[in-house]
A and B are shown apart, each in its own frame.
Chain A
């Protein structure tokens, strides 16, 4: 894993390629997280561009520390802003289950075609998680952030981040048990 803080320092010292290196190394985890949070390609693309735009505009404000946590904190804020603007706000300040809505939450048709039945079940299970648990789960599995970084992104204590992951895993275990074979129960 590249030393992102060093890359930012190099960029400030005049190495223009350092920022491009950081973008190249972080594009997949960042886009993977946004895409799974948002679920539509166009919106994910917009949020991805907006996140980098904000990073570039505010790079002078980065005062050391963990660059990945700083980047994903910006992405977290952009996702919330976008949801607010669309009046389809995920309740990111609550651990409650999402409130059932009358809108159609199925993925768009192009995505439905691309997804298998298994993928659709997994998607539905992830979408059934409370937003904060879903975000912790995706930051860990899609973005590969450590729990300390996740705690920094959500501005919560480490134990709270672990608790949210624990509840997310417990619920996914229950809903997807038949898909992953339940290892110990299958043993004689």
Chain B
């Protein structure tokens, strides 16, 4: 132990923080070093002087409403609740993000798509479209106006004669 280390050990010895093996080393050094013995004496003298000479003041009473232990527990619980809420939000976000990925993975694996899959909806839309266009065709064929279709043969010949005469 050199003097610098010994002086640190002296400080630690005054605060009761020395291990037994450190104390033995310090005692051995002090038995051989007058300078460090003097340092230890001065440390004690300075500390005692300051402790005795400085004016003291009484601390005021703590004028604060002390919290009830229940309030502290509630505060601690709120910490747990916050954790639970954060976990739920994280799960929701991950679920939303994973949803479409999962359906695509099902399609890749050849698993029948769910009723809400894109291909199923597209197929259904296509068939609805076909049905609608067929219906429109039927309607248009029924409502096509042929002015001659509704006339009988006499009426038709009369009109033709009128046209020729004019």
Q: Within 8 Å CB of A173, what residues of B? A: 42-43, 46
Does B119 belong to the interface (CB within 8 Å)?
A: no
Dominant secondary structure at the A interface: helix
Bound: A122/B43 CA distance, A: 14
Contact A147/B50 with A15-B69, A59-B72, A119-B55 known, Cβ cut-off 8 Å = no
Does A70 belong to the interface (CB within 8 Å)?
A: no
Contact A11/B72 with A115-B55, A126-B50, A184-B38 known, Cβ cut-off 8 Å = yes
Q: Are B72 and A12 touching (Cβ within 8 A)? A: yes
Partner of A111, one of B51, B53, B55, B62: B55
Partner of A122, one of B16, B53, B70: B53
Does B47 belong to the interface (CB within 8 Å)?
A: yes
Interface size for B (C-beta < 8 A) is 41
A-B contact count (CB 8 A): 111
Bound: A23/B59 CA distance, A: 11
Min CB gap A20→B, angstroms: 7
Q: Within 8 Å CB of A146, what residues of B? A: 15-17
Q: Within 8 Å CB of B50, what residues of A? A: 122, 126, 141, 172
Min CB gap A26→B, angstroms: 10
Does B54 belong to the interface (CB within 8 Å)?
A: yes
Q: Within 8 Å CB of A41, what residues of B? A: 57
